[in-house]
Each structure stands twice: as C-alpha cells, then as structure tokens.
Amino acid sequence: MATPIIMPKVDMVMEKGIFMEWLKKEGQAVQKGETIYVMMTDKASIEVEAPASGILAGLSARPDDQIPVSQVVGYILQPGESLPEAARQSSPAAITADMQANTELAEEVKSLVGNGDSALKKNGDKLVRATPLARNLAREMKLDLASIPGSGPRGRVYRRDVERYLHARPPKQVETMSEVQPAQVLGFTPSRQMPKLIAALPAARERGRVVLKGPRAIIAQRLTYSAAAIPHIHLSLYVDMSEAVQLREKVGPAIEKRTGQRVSFTAIIAHSVAHLLGQHPVLNSSFLGEEIVYWEDVHLGIATNMDEYLVVPVIREAQRKNLEETVVELNRLVERAHSKKLQPSEMTGSTFTISNLGMMGIESFTAIINPPEAAILAVGKIQDAAVPVGKELAIRPMMALTLAVDHRVVDGAQAAKFLAGLKEVLENPYLLI
C-alpha cells in the first residue's frame, strides 16, 4: 500500500506548517530516513525524512503552501503500487482555495468590528450613583432614581434616601379610572398609588420572618393591583357532571393507553373552556386603558398549587388542541411544575386562567383575576347532591363554577352567556365535536 508522506507535528502548539521545498523529485527513489522536503514552523526550519523507502509520487505540496498537521503531501510507492484515488484528484489549488476563504472571512469580521464602535456610542444617559439596595427599592417602587436626592459622596443614593423620598410624598387616593396607567396593566403594582398602611403590629412573639422576594413578591404585587384596580363581578352556577364523568370513563382508558396520561376533570374543563372562548371573545381579552385587545389564541393558565406559592403554567394555543393533546400538555406542565423545572416562558402569557380547588375539598370560591386577563374561572369540588330532575329528585355529581370577570370589559350578560354555555358543554360533551 502506498505510504503517505504527511506534514508532521513538531511542537506542542503547531497546527499548520509552511511547505518550503521538495528536496527530491517526483519519480525519484528514496531511502527511509532520507530528507525529502523542508518545511517551516514559526520557530524553525525543519527537514522531514522519508517514512519508507520507495519511489516518490503524487507530490502535491507547493512552496509556500500552508498545510495542516497530518495532511498528506505526497506518497512513497513500492514497485507495482499506484496512487490512491484521493491523491489523483486532490490538487494544491484546493488547499490554497481554503486559505482564500479564510482570508475573506477575516476581512468580513474586520469590517464588522469596525462598525461596532458606533453601536457603543453613549446614548446620553446620566450616570446615577446608587447602592444596589437603593436601586432595587427604587425599581420596585417605580421611582425614577435620578430624581431621588442622594446623601452619599457625589450624590450616592442609599436605601434611606429612597425611603425618605417615599415618605415625603403624600399618599394619594386613586380618584378616577384614568389614574391607572396602561403600562401598569402589563407591569407591576405602582404602590405609590396605594394609600400607605399605618397600623400597629400585634404585641406578639415572632415566630419567624421572611424577606418578600421572588415569586411571592410578584404574586403580592399582581394581586394587590388586581384587587384594587379591577372591578370584579362574580357569577356562579352548578354543573351536573354526570355526562362528563361518563366521558371520562369512556375516553379516559383509551387516552391513557395511547399516551400513558390520565384524564383529569381539570383537563376536560380546560378543553371545554378553550373551545368555547372562541365564541365569547370578550372573555379572552385584555384591558389596556385606552383599548381592549381581543386575543385570537387561548393561552390557558392552570393555577397549580406548589407548597410555597402558586404557579400558573400555561397551555398555549389551547383552542387548537383536542382533548388528548390537552391532557398530555396539562400533565406535562404540572409534572414540570412539581419538579421545579418550569421555565418562565411556560408560566407567562396566559389569556384566561382556571383555578381548581375541588381536589382540596372546596365546594365553591371566588378567585382574583390575573392581570392583564379579563376573567378567571374558579372550579369547586364534584360532589353528589340531590337535585330535581324533572319532577323527581336524583343524586347527581354536581360541581360549582364561579366566574369572575373584569366589569370594565365584560358585562353581566356576556359573562352569563359564557358560563351558561360552559355548563351546557360540560353537561353535553358531544357539543364539542
């Protein structure tokens, strides 16, 4: 077999060698160990020996070629041997073309870097000196740091300065609806709009204390806003879930067999809500102060209880999913929630929320709307009750649904139509086909 002549690695950092010249010619006979070519690294000029005795053939390297370590530059043939296929086809031109491409790339990068400078131009921001704590506090309170006088060197703002600034402003009552800024619907509580609570702490021994941060803090802000700024009305009714129970019994095993997932009532309700909202767009909307946005997609938030706080994983585009897909997605999200693997993107962006406390034994309850949504459905426990059917009493599994809506966006009749429609669908599941 033809013995390849390669570009050898001669020091630790070498990646390429520069081919200088052949000391022997194509077709010439050489002995093993005889020097046959000279190459250069950035340290020295190196004479390379023949790895075997025989005839030189297929010499492809040319002076000044930059050749990567271990690349073949020629062959030594024994009598009767011929060059391998690859050698006959490859040409030095291929190597130099490579180099060319590299140079072009280098030029491109250089030109980009040159333009980069302009992107880093100062945008005229005034530098505000403040401690991280002060910054944090100002951000939470939605204060403009630059307008807070700092007591430290060169105007450094401390926490105390932020607190002083806050206390100096008189507490404002929220007079009119227009006081609530649009941006706030999408952001956090502007607690400066809230009257400050001044109350005596109980004279009791402390059991513990925790700094409000992370999800707990965010929930606190959202709910404060919601309770204060969104006018809620609540509508409730009872749903006879016998048909739904039957549906679950019939369809559940098949779905479980196919997907390994169990069908929950929450999934059935979610599925029904998702498909029904298409006919009741006003409940799948957001109030933005000046405008109301009606959403095409239904991103269903399913309130899921974790030990320490609530997370609301979102089933995206729930209106496109059939029951099986809803089941799979819901179970996947809940599992991720419990194993604490939910990403922020999986917990935000809902257009409607369902909260089910039925499994905790709650018969009915009212929920607080999750801004910027316009409604939230509170689901209670399915329990047997005696209900009139025709003129007789029957025992049916009954479930309370309580719908809260943002009365700025949804009026009573619209809410009622949706809720009644939901009851109808749950009591007659075939309506969804």
d(CA 431, CA 247): 12
Enumerate helices (H) and strands (E) in the chain, giving the number of each. Answer: 10, 17
Q: Is the dihedral of CA 33, 35, 38, 41 positive or negative?
A: positive
In sequence order, which residues have a C-beta less than 8 Å from that of residue 115 and are 6 or more positions away? none
Which burial class, exposed, middle or buried, applies to 167 when counting CB atoms under 10 A from its CB (0-12, 13-18, 19+)?
exposed
Q: Which two tokens stand for residue 134?
A: 């002060």
Binding mask 87-126 for another protein (x = CB under 8 A): ----------------------------------------
Residue 158 binds another protein, judged by CB under 8 A: yes
d(CA 156, CA 138): 13
Burial per residue of 171-205, b for 16 or more beta-carbon CB atoms within 10 angstroms, e otherwise: eeeeeeeeebeeebbeebbbbebbeeeeeeeeeee
Pick from 78, 151, 246, 428: which binds another protein (CB under 8 A)?
A: 151
Q: Using the rule CB under 8 A, give the single segment among 40-48, 274-282, 366-374, 401-409 that binds another protein.
A: 40-48
Q: Using the rule CB under 8 A, give the single segment among 94-102, 158-166, 329-337, 425-433 that binds another protein.
A: 158-166
Least distance from C-beta 137 to another protein, angstroms? 9
d(CA 205, CA 182): 43
The question of whether 144 is a catalytic residue gets the answer: no
19 contacts 63 by C-beta, under 8 angstroms: yes
d(CA 363, CA 357): 8
Residue 12 binds another protein, judged by CB under 8 A: yes
Pick from 132, 149, 388, 390: which binds another protein (CB under 8 A)?
A: 132
Q: Using the rule CB under 8 A, give the single segment among 76-84, 112-120, 153-161, 387-395 that binds another protein.
A: 153-161
Residue 407 binds another protein, judged by CB under 8 A: no
Residue 69 binds another protein, judged by CB under 8 A: yes
Closest listed residue to residue 5, CA positions, set 70, 98, 63, 94: 70
Q: Which two tokens stand for residue 196?
A: 């400050």
* 321: three-class secondary structure by DSSP: coil
Residue 43 binds another protein, judged by CB under 8 A: yes
Pick from 134, 145, 273, 302: which binds another protein (CB under 8 A)?
A: 134
Nearer to another protein, 131 or 259 (CB): 131
Pick from 142, 160, 232, 408: which binds another protein (CB under 8 A)?
A: 160
Residues binding another protein: what is the number (CB under 8 A)?
Answer: 24
Give the helix/strand (H/E) hosting 426: helix 412-427
Least distance from C-beta 327 to another protein, angstroms? 36
Question: Between residue 178 and residue 237, which ones bind another protein under the rule CB under 8 A?
Answer: 211
The question of whether 117 is a catalytic residue gets the answer: no
Residue 152 binds another protein, judged by CB under 8 A: yes
Q: Using the rule CB under 8 A, give the single segment among 92-100, 130-138, 315-323, 332-340 that binds another protein.
A: 130-138
Pick from 62, 142, 159, 381: which binds another protein (CB under 8 A)?
A: 159
Least distance from C-beta 160 to another protein, angstroms? 6
Closest listed residue to residue 59, CA positions, set 108, 24, 97: 24
Residues near another protein (CB under 8 A)? 6, 8-12, 43-44, 46, 69-70, 131-134, 136, 151-152, 156, 158-161, 211
Active site residues: 407, 411
